Structure 1
Amino acid sequence: MKKFNILFSFLLGLVLTYAQQTPAPIQTEAFTIEGATAHLGNGKVIENSLLMFADGKLSFVGDARTRIARQGKVIQASGMHVYPGFIAPGKSLGLVEINAVRASDDQDELGGMIPHVRSIIAYNAESQVVESLRPNGVLLSQITPKGGRISGTSSIVQLDAWNWEDALVKEDDGVHLNWPNSFRRGRWWLGEPRGFQPNKQYADQVEEVANFMTESAAYGKGPSSIQNPAMEAMQKLFNGSGKLYIYADGEREIIDAVTTAKATGIKEVVLVGGYQAVGVADLLKKHQVPVLVQSTHSLPRSEDHDYDYAYKLPRLLVDAGLLVGLQNASASNFQTRNLPFYAGQVVGQGLDKEVALQLISGNTAKILGIDSNYGTLEVGKSATLFISKGDALDMRGNQLTHAFIDGRLISLESHQTELWKRYEGKYQRQ
């Protein structure tokens, strides 16, 4: 049995590290991209663009007809498109490799209120899942713990690194709270009716969360002889250096969550999910609460909703005047690579294409607090961008030729692209 376990661990190690591409070195040569249609991520488009960057920063973003000396290596991209690197928030990328293999799953910890659990130290930069995102233009992500009432603290990374220290973009950016549900599914195996029914413990669960917030606020206002790591981790929410990400969907839950957080002195709140957020849009605008929409490809949860309610929810929230981003809530991290196509689907629901692009670039950067350096193509910001042969929000057009993170020309190869090329050659020869 011991020999079997050793062999299994060895094989698992091979699976988890196979085909990992060597991270790109620091940019030493300037680059110029000329002739492409540049989608800046802030709603603006430059049809015949000129972008130049050196030392990891954009030095020029403008019209290709501008009389200015081209820098370094010139990439002629006429007929192609340039985009800022897409950002995937609220994902457990690098924390779980194979859901069915417990040894590769480090996305949650024991305990209900554990804001002091930091996801970043468990992040595996050499994950096969992580490298599979880059060929679709997803170049940054918020690495988020899961489970429990307060899951822990997330951090933001770029997706081409040797280790978590190299990957780090913003450390311990926020705490993640799963708000209680006022309704729950009936446990039919215990003889309860099927379907949803009121959660009789909802008031007690809300009080438990509110008390923890209140105690954490009081803990930070005075000296304590006893150090409490959980309450220490909450202090970033009260001094404004971190955000509280609240996962809630119903109107009652959203109202209770936002009002409770604000009443206890939490500075910045982000709503994740927000299935019924349209009905409480005024409250969210009052408290400047942005929304990261989940599960746009899903059936309506209420018979009162349109059949395509989930599909058009991002547009409804944008129309209501809220700051909106997309968070693909699929159980599989591999599906995060489809994030651009979720944004493209919203275009089919009536949202302008450049506004839809902002849902996974400029808007998400603002929500995560990294917009000073990422999310849009502007002079002085990070040269984290990619070139696509066609429309990156359409799976038929999303074909990357180059991708850069902080000016570094990164590999677009992955285990999947290697298999594709291997078998494409096999069957083309037959």
Structure 2
Amino acid sequence: MKKYILSLLISCVAFAQQTPAPKQTKSILITGGKAHIGNGKVIENSLISISNGKITTITDATNVRPEKHDIYIDASGKHIYPGFIAANATLGLVEIDAVKASNDENEMGQMNPHIRSIIAYNSESGLVEAARPNGVLVAQIAPRGGRISGTSSVVQLDAWNWEDAIVKENDGIHLSWPRSYSRSGWWAEPGGIEPNKKYDQQITEIQDFLNDANAYVASNPNVRDIPYEAMKGLDTGEKQLFVHVDGEKEIIDAILFKKKNNIKKMTLVGGYYAYKNVALLKENNVSVLLRRIHDLPLLEDEDVNLPYKNAKILYDAGIIVGLQNAGDMERMQIRNLPFYAGTCAAWGIDKEDALKLITSNTAKILGIDANYGTLETGKSATLFISEGDALDMRTNKVTNAFIDGRQISLESHQTELYDRYKEKYNAEK
């Protein structure tokens, strides 16, 4: 019995997340790497100085004699990138899909703006750990379910708990816009498309809820109503409205809803047919977090490559566009985020512009661009070094990663299995 308990404890320790890195106390100098700034610029032979969690210097290393540092990293022949940002993610909210008790991504009811996803965020999730070796170091933790799903927050992915992880708390409210149509059947045997007879009614319900919330805030009542109170800030820009919508008609209706209610900041999440409403998007300053790139078209008679081209169409039109990964197995797929950007580059967008889709553009959309998203003096030293092109799964191999100047572990359950079985097969040769 004692042996069984001991082996159980060992196995639990083996699969636990690595201890978060301590606060940076020693200065770091990275030299020789090709720095991809994240704003379209590149420094071929860079020098990056990091101190107290910030980038204190980034410049061309040619003919520069740096000051003395505590730690030196030679990145010659390697690439340096700002940490990738996963928007609209459910990392840390569900650990095992088949275990209901581990699922905290949604709440009962339809109108839940007061549900804060950050409270349920598990910073020790193995899936958080698995995202980091591909350069995903920051994420927006967003709720699911209902009409108004709740409020998201932005975190960095190396922390003891959700309080330590927070980069921006309560950054936006997530609204699932009604569909004007419904589909019958399932993916293997799709049925027909029928109009949603309750579409107008469902929009009215959203408008009524917002009207009631505005009236509540204006009246300064004695009795608190937490859901109504949570809607405060949409008119001032303190909170952003993330509208999950794909259809052309629905996108138009959502933007008209923004105008009618003086909502200062709005982002379309999904936005598959946003390219059909470019003028309206620009006129109303609406950004887009595109649906998963590695997917099929929504309609069978569309260009099969449209999901790959969508980002370029919007980018060329001057829309602030980023990528997100909602869908089947989304938490496991987060580590593929850089390769979605790589696919966009393969289908027409410039490689450095494709990088913006998961760095500077996403940082702007989430309102964290003052500190994250690019390699610039004064910003957070959240970055990584790769042996190859980080947007190419064949060559991306992250050797060092830093979050706020702290060098983090890149070990995961996957790397443990790799080392274990590599040793096994090497011994058998």
Same fold (TM over 0.5): yes
Distance 2:87 2:68 in 1: 35
Counterpart residue number, 1:238: 235
Distance 2:162 2:81 in 1: 25
**After superposition, what is the alpha-carbon deviation per residue over 1:372-404, rounded to whole angstroms, capped at 9, x for unaligned?**
000000000000000000000001111011000
Q: Which amino acid in 1 is paired with 2:184?
A: G
The one of 156, 163, 169 equivalent to 1:165 is 163
Structure 1 gaps of 5+ residues are 1-10
Residue 351 of structure 1 pairs with residue 349 of structure 2:
yes
Find the residue that maps to 1:340 and give its secondary structure: helix
Indicate if the aligned counterparts of 1:245 and 1:269 stay in contact, CA closer than 8 A: yes
The one of 168, 173, 176 equivalent to 2:174 is 176
Q: Percent identity, aligned pairs only? A: 57
Find the residue that maps to 1:194 and give its secondary structure: strand
The one of 99, 102, 105 equivalent to 2:103 is 105
Residue 223 of structure 1 pairs with residue 205 of structure 2:
no
Residue 311 of structure 1 pairs with residue 276 of structure 2:
no
| Superposed displacement of residue 95, structure 1 | 0.5
Indicate if the aligned counterparts of 1:37 and 1:48 stay in contact, CA closer than 8 A: yes
| Superposed displacement of residue 323, structure 1 | 0.3
Distance 1:391 1:251 in 2: 35
Find the residue that maps to 2:57 and give its secondary structure: strand
Distance 2:14 2:244 in 1: 33
| Superposed displacement of residue 362, structure 1 | 0.5
Indicate if the aligned counterparts of 2:16 and 2:124 stay in contact, CA closer than 8 A: no
Counterpart residue number, 2:424: 426
Distance 1:290 1:218 in 2: 28
Counterpart residue number, 1:272: 269
Distance 2:258 2:287 in 1: 14
Q: Which amino acid in 2 is paired with 1:354?
A: E
| Superposed displacement of residue 227, structure 1 | 1.7
| Superposed displacement of residue 67, structure 1 | 3.0
Distance 1:391 1:406 in 2: 23
Counterpart residue number, 2:19: 22
Q: Which amino acid in 2 is paired with 1:177?
A: L
The one of 297, 301, 309 equivalent to 1:300 is 297
Q: 1:277 to 1:208 in 2, by over 3 A?
A: same
RMSD across aligned positions (CA): 1.8
Find the residue that maps to 2:232 and give its secondary structure: helix
Q: Which amino acid in 2 is paired with 1:306?
A: D
**After superposition, what is the alpha-carbon deviation per residue over 1:91-132, rounded to whole angstroms, capped at 9, x for unaligned?**
111010011100111111101000000011111000000000
Indicate if the aligned counterparts of 1:17 and 1:126 stay in contact, CA closer than 8 A: no
Find the residue that maps to 2:231 and give its secondary structure: helix
Counterpart residue number, 2:359: 361
Query: What is the correspondence of 1:26-425 to structure 2 with a 5 Å cutoff?
Result: 26-65=23-62, 66-186=64-184, 194-332=191-329, 333-425=331-423
Find the residue that maps to 2:191 and give its secondary structure: coil
Distance 2:257 2:166 in 1: 31
Q: Which amino acid in 2 is paired with 1:266?
A: I
Distance 1:17 1:287 in 2: 51
Q: 1:17 to 1:181 in 2, by over 3 A?
A: farther
Q: Which amino acid in 2 is paired with 1:422?
A: R
Counterpart residue number, 2:5: none
Indicate if the aligned counterparts of 1:374 and 1:384 stay in contact, CA closer than 8 A: yes
Q: Which amino acid in 1 is paired with 2:361?
A: N
Normalising by structure 2, we get a TM-score of: 0.94
| Superposed displacement of residue 196, structure 1 | 1.6
Normalising by structure 1, we get a TM-score of: 0.94
Structure 2 gaps of 5+ residues are 1-7
Distance 2:269 2:110 in 1: 19
Distance 2:145 2:407 in 1: 36
Find the residue that maps to 2:129 and give its secondary structure: helix
**After superposition, what is the alpha-carbon deviation per residue over 1:34-83, rounded to whole angstroms, capped at 9, x for unaligned?**
00000000110000000001000000000112233242211011000000
Distance 1:402 1:166 in 2: 22
Find the residue that maps to 2:30 and give its secondary structure: strand
Indicate if the aligned counterparts of 1:16 and 1:127 stay in contact, CA closer than 8 A: no
**After superposition, what is the alpha-carbon deviation per residue over 1:392-429, rounded to whole angstroms, capped at 9, x for unaligned?**
00011110110000000000001111111100111122
Find the residue that maps to 2:106 and give its secondary structure: coil
Name which of structure 1's ranges 271-280 and 63-72 shifts more when overlaid on structure 2.
63-72
Distance 2:229 2:14 in 1: 36
| Superposed displacement of residue 186, structure 1 | 2.3
| Superposed displacement of residue 334, structure 1 | 0.9
Find the residue that maps to 1:157 and give its secondary structure: strand
Find the residue that maps to 1:401 and give its secondary structure: strand
| Superposed displacement of residue 302, structure 1 | 2.2
Counterpart residue number, 1:4: none
* Equivalent residue pairs, number: 417
